[in-house]
Amino acid sequence: MVPFTSTALPPSETLARVLAFWFGAPGSEQEGQPRPEWFRSDAAFDDAIRERFTEEMEAAADGRLDSLMDTPLGCVALCILLDQFPRNVWRDSPRAFACDQKARTVARHALDRGFDEHLKPVHRLFLYLPFEHSECLADQDLSVALFEAVGDPQWLDYARRHHAIIERFDRFPHRNALLGRASTAEEEDFLRQHGRGF
């Protein structure tokens, strides 16, 4: 476990910083608006996350921010710290997926308590993404159902594409090289034709 340092912030301040960085400052015109940086490679954006949130990511991973699970937005912030930020900071590295299981635990906790019913769609997106990122078909089934309920056609399309890959291969072939897994001939053909497939 990584101990707190003198610069560590209490969970409430971490919550505010994560939400303001990811969704926009409260009350601003940008708050809650989709950002192109969320789902594309942007080195400057990745560096900004690394510089501002590495300590908070470590704290979330080892449980020091588990008190955020007490609120709907706290669960969203934890999912961003565990599921989204690692994909930016450790892009093209196995570390990008290291906290996926804990992110799903947080997301399930939120669903079990009905927290998602109190969230805006854009917040629900990042609460549900840990299931879309899972290599378990049951999680993918849940992901599609959740995004069907949200009603955004683009988000649902991505959920269905992820589901189709897991249904076909039981894993995401584009992760094989990063995770030291040998790809089958069928997977190699898929990657040549479709890339990641979503």
Token match 């994909």: residue? 87
Model confidence at 197, in pLDDT bands (50, 70, 90)?
confident
Residue 59 has pLDDT above 50, yes or no: yes
pLDDT (0 to 100) of residue 8: 56
pLDDT (0 to 100) of residue 9: 64
Tens digits of per-residue pLDDT, 3-24? 333 345 678 899 999 999 999 9
Q: What are the structural domains, with CATH classification, of the chain?
A: 6-119 (no CATH), 134-198 (1.25.40.10)
CA atoms of 133 and 100, how far apart (whole Å):
8
- SS3 at position 37: helix
pTM, to two decimals: 0.92
Q: Which helix (H) or strand (E) holds 122?
A: helix 121-132
Model confidence at 1, in pLDDT bands (50, 70, 90)?
very low
The one-letter code for the residue type at 65 is L
83-118 burial by CB neighbour count: b if 16+ within 10 A, else e? bbbbbbbbeeeeebbebbebbbbbbeebbeeebbee
Contact 178, 92 (CB under 8 A): yes
Average pLDDT over residues 110-135: 97
CA distances to 88, 111, 129, 141 from 147, in Å: 23, 13, 9, 10
CA atoms of 116 and 92, how far apart (whole Å):
30
Average pLDDT over residues 118-136: 97
Model confidence at 2, in pLDDT bands (50, 70, 90)?
very low
Tens digits of per-residue pLDDT, 139-149? 999 999 999 99
